[in-house]
C-alpha cells in the first residue's frame, strides 16, 4: 500500500493498493461534510489518479460509523455571501463532473447518511453500493419546509440557501443525475418531498447496485474493487467511454 505523498490532505485519506485507489472523506466528527478546501483536495486527487497508470479503479467512502457524507458543511455555508454561494455551487458541480469523467471506474461505497450534496457526490460515481444501514436522499427542499418536515437542527431558522426571490434546488448535479438512475417520476418524488430512502428501497429503485450487511460491507466492497482492478485498464477506460457517450463498438482500431 502507498499513500499519495506528494500532497498533504486535511480532509481526505488517499491510499493506493493493488491497483485500487481508496479515497476516504476524513471528517468523521462532521459526518464527512464538504467544504471548498475538501473539494479542491478532491480535484487534485482526481487529476493525479487520471494520469496514474497503476490505478484501475477508485473507491470513494466515508470515515467513521455514521456517514458517507452529509453534504455541505452547514457551519461553513452559514457565513457565505450571495456571491460566494453562487461560486460554491459551481465548485461542487465542477468537482463532481471531474470525478464523473475520470478514465477509471469509480465506486461510491455508501454507509450511514448520504444526503444532500453527499448523495450528489455518490451519484457522480459510476455506481453506488450500500451498507444496509445507508440512508440516501436529496433533502435540500426540507431546509425551507414548514414543521414538522424541516430538520430539527435548523431550529426553525430560514434556509440560508433560499433566495429572497425565486427558488433553490440541489446545485451539485443531483437534479440531472438522479433521474438517470431512478427515472423522472421517482426522482421528482424524492426531490419534492426530500425523503431519505433506506438501503432496501434504494436497491429496488435502482439508485444503488447492491446492498451488503454492515458487518460485511468493507469485505464485499474490497472484493468488488479487486475484481475490477484485475481488468485491463485500457479496456475499462474504453468501456466507460462507450457507455457514458452511448457509442457503439463497430470495429477495433488497427494496431
Q: Which of 10, 17, 87, 140 is catalytic?
A: 140
Catalytic residue check, 120: yes
Catalytic residue check, 140: yes
Cα angle at 146 between 177 and 171, to 5 degrees?
A: 25
Measured between alpha carbons, how far is 244 from 255 in angstroms, rounded to an integer?
Answer: 24
Per the CB < 8 A criterion, the answer to whether 91 and 39 are in contact is yes
Q: Which of 10, 48, 53, 120 is catalytic?
A: 120
Question: Does residue 11 sit in helix, strand or coil?
Answer: coil
Q: What grid cell was written down for 237? A: 477506460
For 100, 121, 165, 205, 228, the CA distances from 178, given in Å and listed in that order, are 14, 11, 26, 11, 24
Measured between alpha carbons, how far is 155 from 232 in angstroms, rounded to an integer?
Answer: 52
Measured between alpha carbons, how far is 184 from 93 in angstroms, rounded to an integer?
Answer: 20
Measured between alpha carbons, how far is 194 from 138 in angstroms, rounded to an integer?
Answer: 6
Per the CB < 8 A criterion, the answer to whether 118 and 32 are in contact is yes
Residues tagged active-site: 120, 140
Amino acid at each position: 500500500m502507498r499513500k499519495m505523498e506528494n500532497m498533504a490532505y486535511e480532509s481526505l485519506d488517499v491510499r493506493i493498493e493493488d491497483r485500487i485507489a481508496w479515497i476516504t472523506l476524513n471528517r468523521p466528527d462532521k459526518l464527512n461534510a464538504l467544504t471548498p478546501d475538501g473539494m479542491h483536495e478532491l480535484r487534485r486527487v482526481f487529476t493525479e489518479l487520471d494520469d496514474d497508470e497503476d490505478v484501475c479503479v477508485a473507491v470513494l467512502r466515508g470515515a467513521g460509523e455514521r456517514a458517507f457524507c452529509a453534504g455541505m458543511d452547514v457551519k461553513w455555508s452559514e457565513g457565505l455571501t450571495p456571491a460566494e454561494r453562487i461560486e460554491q455551487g459551481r465548485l461542487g458541480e465542477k468537482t463532481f463532473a471531474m470525478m464523473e469523467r475520470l478514465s477509471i471506474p469509480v465506486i461510491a461505497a455508501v454507509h450511514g447518511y448520504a444526503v444532500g450534496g453527499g448523495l450528489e457526490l455518490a451519484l457522480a460515481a459510476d455506481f453506488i453500493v450500500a451498507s444496509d444501514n445507508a440512508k440516501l436522499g436529496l433533502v435540500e427542499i426540507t431546509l425551507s419546509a414548514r414543521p414538522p418536515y424541516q430538520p430539527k437542527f435548523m431550529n426553525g431558522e430560514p434556509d440560508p440557501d433560499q433566495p429572497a426571490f425565486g427558488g433553490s434546488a440541489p446545485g451539485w448535479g443531483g437534479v440531472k443525475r438522479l433521474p438517470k438512475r431512478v427515472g423522472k417520476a421517482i426522482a421528482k418524488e424524492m426531490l419534492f418531498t426530500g425523503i431519505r430512502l433506506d438501503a432496501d428501497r434504494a436497491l429496488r429503485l435502482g439508485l444503488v447496485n447492491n446492498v451488503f450487511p454492515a458487518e460485511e460491507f468493507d469485505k464485499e466492497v474490497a472484493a468488488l474493487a479487486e475484481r475490477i482492478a484485475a481488468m485491463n485498464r485500457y479496456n475499462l477506460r474504453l468501456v466507460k467511454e462507450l457507455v457514458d457517450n452511448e457509442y457503439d463498438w463497430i470495429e477495433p482500431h488497427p494496431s
